Amino acid sequence: MSQISFSHAGLMFSGYDVGQGPAIVFQHGLGGDIGQINEAFPPLPVRRLTLECRGQGASPYGCPDELSIPNFAADVVDFADRQGIGQFVVGGISMGAAIALRIAAIMPQRVKAMILARPAWGWTSAPENMTVFKIISDFVEKQDHASFEATALAQRFRQEAPDNYASLMRLFEKPNPPMVAELHRRIAASGPEISEAQVRAINVPTLVMANAIDIIHPTSLATMLAETIPSAHYVELAPKVPDKAKHVAEFHVAVTHFLKDNEIIP
């Protein structure tokens, strides 16, 4: 798998275009990169495109004022254009699902189907489930993980959602703490900037997946999206804790069946 350097908006992004077959643009979550997609997405006869969003993976942060889900979505579409992709299946995990939702809502002519995995946003900005990133960012900026661990919020995540907690604590290991903090503050306050009416107007086959034991990606949000999008189908996966392998296997099965059922792949 080779990395593509993609020049756009004055920045040199890191992108990936792998495989052959129907095009699927599939995006990572906040703080993620291509590794998350390689693990989650099943090995299928498709052409899979992933752009590492600003400040994530090997892509630069750029201007802090431009760190937003709408800008990330525009970057992704420009990457698809650069790679000569017209229509595609769009999808992603968490933040990547919000990017996919925006693209499907504002560019319906480009989208053949949609996959929303563990969504963290509906159509509103700054959802309550993302508040933890605003709070932890202050601690990350100061590199004070001990004080964060002592908070009631951290204790709640440690007890109720250990996978979320592990992801939060990994923020303290990333280079450039001030920009890591800025990225997470701004994206937590962002949203797809679309309306409920636009979501209800999405008219493509849609798979929505979520799992329990997850505070950041509540199943209630996923089911709300599945009930709002007319052609959506909801699948609840095994939690990532205590059996991540089972979670990944069920993710693979759900995506494979969805693409076959909708004749995206044979």
pLDDT in tens, the chain (266 residues): 679 999 999 999 999 999 999 999 999 999 999 999 999 999 999 999 999 999 999 999 999 999 999 999 999 999 999 999 999 999 999 999 999 999 999 999 999 999 999 999 999 999 999 999 999 999 999 999 999 999 999 999 999 999 999 999 999 999 999 999 999 999 999 999 999 999 999 999 999 999 999 999 999 999 999 999 999 999 999 999 999 999 999 999 999 999 999 999 99
CB 52 within 8 A of CB 17: no
Distance between CA 21 and CA 48 in Å, rounded?
9
For 111, half-sphere exposure in the C-beta direction (CA atoms, 13 angstrom radius) is: 25
Q: Is pTM, for the whole model, over 0.85? A: yes
Residues linked to residue 4 through DSSP beta bridges, in sequence order: 15
Which of 264, 195, 201, 198 lies closest to 230, judged by CA?
201
Residue 2 is predicted with a pLDDT of 79
CB 211 within 8 A of CB 238: yes
Residue 1 is predicted with a pLDDT of 65
Please name each of the domains of the chain with its CATH number. Answer: 3-128+190-261 (3.40.50.1820)
Distance between CA 25 and CA 140 in Å, rounded?
31
